[in-house]
Amino acid sequence: MAVFDNELATTASILIVEDEFLIANNLRRILTKAGYQVTGLAKTVAEAQLLLAQATPDIVLLDVFLKGEQTGIDLAQWLNKQQIPFVFLSANLSDSVLEAAKVTQPFGFLNKPFRAKDVLSTLEIARYRHAHSEEAKLRQQQQIQVAVNNAIITLHDRDQLSLAIAAQLDKLVPFSFLNLRIALPEEQSFYWVMLRKTALGTFERIHLPVLLGPNASDELLEKLTQETPDQLGEQPGIFTGEAFQELCAKYLTARAIHDTFGVQSLLVLPVVLKRRSFTNLQLARTDSNGFSPADYEAISLVISQIALALDNLLACEEIDARRRLKTAELALASAFQNGKSMVEIAPQVAAAINDVLPGIDLLSVYRVGRVLGGTPFDITVQKKDGIYVPLSEDEIRLPATISPLEWQQQVAAMESWLVQPTLNVGRQAVEVQGRNLVAQLYGAQLGLQSSMYVPIIIKGQTVAALVVASKAAYAFTPKDLQTLQSLNYELALALENLLAFERIKLLSEQLEQEKTYLSEEIKTSHNFEEIVGTSPALLAVLGSIAQVAPTDYTVLVTGETGTGKELIARAVHNLSKRKGRTMVKVNCAALPPQLIESELFGHEKGSYTGATDKRIGKFELAHGSTIFLDEIGELPLELQAKLLRVIQEKEIERLGGKGPIVVDVRIIAATNRNLHEEVAAGRFRADLYYRLNVFPVLVPPLRERPEDILPLTAYFMQKISKKLGKPLTGLSNAMRQQLQQYTWPGNIRELEHVLERAAIMARSTTLELNEPLVASPLPSSAFATGTVKPMQEAMRETILAALAQSNNRIRGQGGAAELLNLKPTTLESRMKKLQITPMK
């Protein structure tokens, strides 16, 4: 034991603080003899602190009662903070002084008077306890490091990891509150957790609204997911007393924890992570002297392990984010692969993106340059009861003060900023809603407060925009916008495939329609394959065709029946820039009145009885090409108004359709009627007539171009010869003379039929007429003779004649309306105007 004592003593230095010199000197003699090194003698606290500043002893012998204002207990408290062990020297201690001395945590007591043996044994025990106390702290720190390491392995949730860290740190340095702040500026994200120790010694989460109090604005609370409310934690250290009050005056959160929970001391340590961040750990207590430098140092020893745990947590979160992103990409590809239309695909797309960016309440896809009708988006889905469903048009009510034209202009104005990656949260979202009616209506009627949109680029060209929105004011961050952009590539590929399939489907349908149409045209055959003739009248027409064909203006072809008006229309089309597409022909006189609208404009499935499938109308079929409206004078009055709209607005609407469809069609109309007279008679709309009569082309009858009769005859003979399979070499002189002298009221069509009849009856290669050509009366519309009556009088006589023939019946079979080819209501209206009263 003596050897141990000497070995222990040779390494120990002692400071004696005793105001009685004899006692102090006696202690120095005992200690020096035992091999201890006495660094000095001090009578007061001030002298002791001065000696301690010069050299720190291994242990201090301290009298409880010292002369002066400060006692040994005051010095003991200071020594405890400096982590210097001490032993009290005392005599006749009262209970109150003894309790005060115990609070300072001395390593022993020596009662006066004392023997040398008692002094040395007390010192050995004190030094042993001190050594093992430091070792225990090291073991505790190691245990905390191990616990934190275990948390790194097992816990990948921020809240759970924070609770585990708090429980372990409390074993090392007791505290009442823990704050952990992780701010990532590059991602503009902020995580803040505050824990409070319960009466059971466990920790519970305190949510920020509770901390900041009822007066905190909603804007501040929502922004806490993106940025720190203040920079509390910039300066590490221990803050008590005035230093803590300065923090409260400067920082919102420091003032909040003081006012709400009575915190008076704060310990702040920075946590250095591998990535750029503003991270710190804050421990708080409600007593003013809650933390010591020793506490700060003890926490500092494990802070690196906490940093490692947080680095590992953030790395796991990043890996999980990448995994969820990849899962979302696969889900997007699967949605476009399995879906048949955007109505089916969009809800799956929204659900996939919501897995990566939670909080999406609405998703829209806007195709650039394709704004039709009143709907600004191609497809929009919203979240209802946790699932995404298409947004119906009825859910966005257009104010009565907004015209469709203004709405279209507002929709068009969106395109310039929808094709730019944009984040709208907080005030910016309010500004966007303020400057655009579409955003304002969607925000007001659906409760949307924040949004993001990114362009969808295919082959270097922006074809669409993806829009997501939320009912929370700060639902998205710049990192979320980057995530949405990272999904853009997969979305663009999927959308490109969908658009390709839609294009193939559209072209297939169009090709099928054109095939059907061309098959019907082939069955009816064409009168001519090319224009034949060199007469001045025909050359004048061809000159007009050359002038108007390169333009897109409407052409009205007039002339008698059989003059080749359709051939003129084809010539105009073939010389235009639309010649790459098939010209679509519609004979207005050959269609029943009840089917003309469906034929021209198409219909939706179920739009009327018998509409079992969707049908594309002739105008849609002629999109990008030319439509030839033959016998336009036969078009019913009610459809004339719709045709006028097509010419004016360049858009149609299918029967049963939900909105207008824009069409790019050139119109060529033809008629053998005198439309000017039809307008005067009230059978043709004047406004439509003037719209059609932009460039009139009058096809001359065959009698006005006799020079072309023989060339036309030669052309038809060659065609008929090939069709009948027998040679035809010429005409007899008699036939030639009759052909040239005949007036041809049926024009070119009559010439062809005469030659066909002669070819069938021919017994040789030379054609002869089996019966002479007899001229019929000329068309009254072209060659009216006799007295011309006023139109009202002529109409009155015609109606009276029809009434007389029908026995004064207006309606029904054989009635006057049927004889005059008028609706009964129209006839009655004109009779009333002309003051005609049928006899009973």
pLDDT tens digit sequence for 110-133: 888 878 888 888 888 888 777 666
CB–CB of 52/15 below 8 Å? yes
Cα separation, 278 vs 86, whole angstroms: 41
- At residue 749, the pLDDT reads 86
Single-letter amino acid code for the residue at 340: K
- At residue 785, the pLDDT reads 43
- At residue 8, the pLDDT reads 43
Q: Count of CB atoms within 10 A of residue 330's CB?
A: 12
- At residue 524, the pLDDT reads 43
Q: Which CATH superfamily is domain 339-502 in?
A: GAF domain (3.30.450.40)
Average pLDDT, the chain: 80
Q: Where are the beta strands (DSSP E) in 582-686?
A: 584-587, 602-603, 615-616, 626-630, 651-652, 661-662, 666-671
Report CA-CA distances (Å) from 657 to 14, 341, 591.
Answer: 102, 18, 22
Q: How far from the centroid of its chain's Cα atoms is residue 751's Cα?
A: 66
Question: Which segments of the chain have a pLDDT < 50?
Answer: 1-10, 371-377, 522-529, 778-786
Q: Which of 47, 29, 12 is nearest to 126 (CA)?
A: 12
Question: What is the tally of helices (H) and strands (E) in the chain?
Answer: 31, 28
Where is 537: in which H helix or E strand?
Answer: helix 536-548
CB–CB of 689/675 below 8 Å? yes
Backbone angles phi, psi at 132, to 5 degrees: -75, -25
DSSP 762: -
Q: 183-211, pLDDT tens digit by residue?
A: 777 666 667 788 999 988 889 988 766 66
Q: Which CATH class is domain 155-320?
A: alpha beta
- At residue 342, the pLDDT reads 74
DSSP 835: T
Report CA-CA distances (Å) from 650 to 413, 617, 623, 646, 664.
Answer: 21, 14, 10, 5, 7
Strand 177-184 and strand 189-197: the pairing is antiparallel
Q: Which of 527, 529, 648, 521 is nearest to 583 (CA)?
A: 521
Residue identified by tokens 């005056």 is 249
Residue identified by tokens 């207008």 is 660
**SS3 category, 64:** coil
Q: Which residues pair with 384 in a beta bridge?
A: 387
Where is 649: in which H helix or E strand?
Answer: helix 637-649
- At residue 372, the pLDDT reads 38
CATH of 702-767, one of 1.10.8.60, 1.10.3720.10, 1.10.260.40, 3.40.190.10: 1.10.8.60
CATH topology of domain 525-698: Rossmann fold (3.40.50)
Report CA-CA distances (Å) from 585 to 365, 513, 667, 687.
Answer: 37, 13, 10, 23
CATH topology of domain 2-134: Rossmann fold (3.40.50)
CB–CB of 465/454 below 8 Å? yes
Q: Which residues pair with 189 in a beta bridge?
A: 184
DSSP 421: -
Cα separation, 745 vs 112, whole angstroms: 153
Cα separation, 720 vs 504, whole angstroms: 42
- At residue 782, the pLDDT reads 41
Q: Where are the beta strands (DSSP E) in 687-742?
A: 695-698, 730-731
Burial class (CB in 10 A: 0-12, 13-18, 19+), 196: middle
CB–CB of 735/769 below 8 Å? yes
